Structure formats: C-alpha cells, structure tokens
Amino acid sequence: MTPSRDQCLFIAELAGEAERFDDVVAQIKTIITSIDPRLALEERNLLSVAYKNITNNLRSSWRIVDTLEKVQAARSKNTASRQILLIRQQRERIEHELTEVCKDIVNVLDRDLLPHAQPGEEQVFYSKMKGDYYRYLAEFAQKHEREKFGDCSLAAYKIAYQRAVTTLDPIHPTRLGLALNFSVFYHDVRKSPERACFVAKSAFDDAISVLEGTDPSQSTAFRDSLMILQLLKDDLLLWAEEMKD
C-alpha cells in the first residue's frame, strides 16, 4: 500500500536528519510518481538538498582520484603501470556513479517536475537545477561528451535566466542563485571569465540597485540573498584578478 504524502514527507525529513540522502530521494520520488508531481516547497527543498549532497560527495571523490592519477602518471615512466590502472578504474567507477545520479535527476525534472511547474519561481528553480546537473556532467565527462553536456547546461540556464528576469525580483534568492551558478558555468565549463564576470556583475548591480528600497527584515530569504551577493562579489574579485594576470 502506498504511504500517504505526510508519511513520505516525515520519513524524508527523518532520512535527511540522518544524512541518508538516497532515502530522501526515494521518498520524494514516491510522492512525485504515486501522489502528486507538483511538490510543495518543503518537499522540493528536500529533494534538491539530497541530490546536492549525493553529487557533492561524488564530485569531491572524483577530483581526489583524478588528481592522484595525474600525480602518479607524472611520477611513473610507465603510464600502464598496475597502480595507474587501478586508480583509473576507481575514477571510472566514480564517473559512472556520478553520471547515473546526474542523469537520474535530469530525467525526473524533464518527465515530472518541469511539465507541472507553476510559472515564476518554481519554473526558474527547476530549470536552474537542470542546468546545474548538466554542468556537473560537463565537468568530468570525456571530451566527446563534454561539449554536448555543456550545450544542454547552457540551454537550461538560458531558459531559467529568461524566466527569472521577467518574473522574479533582482534580490530574489532563486534569481541570484541562478546568476551565481550560471556565471560559474561560463568560468568553469566555457572557460570564459569575461562572460562569467558579465553575468555575475549584472546580477550583482541589479540587486544592489533595489536593495536600498527593500525591507531590511532578517527573513531567511533576505539572509540567503545577502549571502549569495557576497559569493558573487568574491567570484568577481577572483575572476578579475585572473583576467589581470
């Protein structure tokens, strides 16, 4: 018997507290497929945080193993040594796991969440997620797939950005978070710090222009916006130094 929505949400929250993020995903997927593809804000955030934690762990593992592989290759004259082959096998295993997770959430977004999303913040949020996970795929994909995933990420970010500028305030945390990740895409995937700075600075300036007229209440959304603005500023300073060098 399918559990109720409240039961699924309770178990998902419990799993999140226990950092069992695969269980969080399973419970929210049950809600999506068996109860309602339109997620409530709390359900949506649980799903987003769960996938983010799963992929962050895998991306961190991949970077470590990839670095070790390069270090070992530089030290060894034999690029087909037993140690390098073992490291390569582990990297490829992590790549496979990461690919499966990223493609899984993209499929959920395309099949269930985006078709039922309400115009405005909900559509922007899901389109941004789609851009994020295609960006992760582009970061570690082999050369023949890197451009394909990069193009998919760019298309999703563009759709999200077009929707954000027409439906969300410049200070809205979802719009600012989108600008932050979109600028990182240009810097890390497209290798264009100039374009990255343009996106980040446009979002930063637009938000600052309306900040003075904003109610300075310390709501969660307001604090989130200020935190993202600081991240945008940090990136701008870092990338400006890169271009100067």
How close are the terminal C-alpha atoms of the chain, in Å? 62
- pTM equals 0.92
Closest C-alpha to 204, from 174, 222, 229, 185:
229
What is the CATH class of 1-116? Answer: mainly alpha
Digit-coded pLDDT (tens) for 15-30: 999 999 999 999 999 9
Closest C-alpha to 206, from 238, 155, 156, 166:
166
Digit-coded pLDDT (tens) for 48-104: 999 999 999 999 999 999 999 989 888 877 766 888 899 999 999 999 999 999 999
Neighbours of 42 (CB within 10 A): 11
Digit-coded pLDDT (tens) for 96-154: 999 999 999 999 999 999 999 999 999 999 999 999 999 999 999 888 899 999 999 99
* Domain residue extents for the chain: 1-116
218 pLDDT higher than 60: no
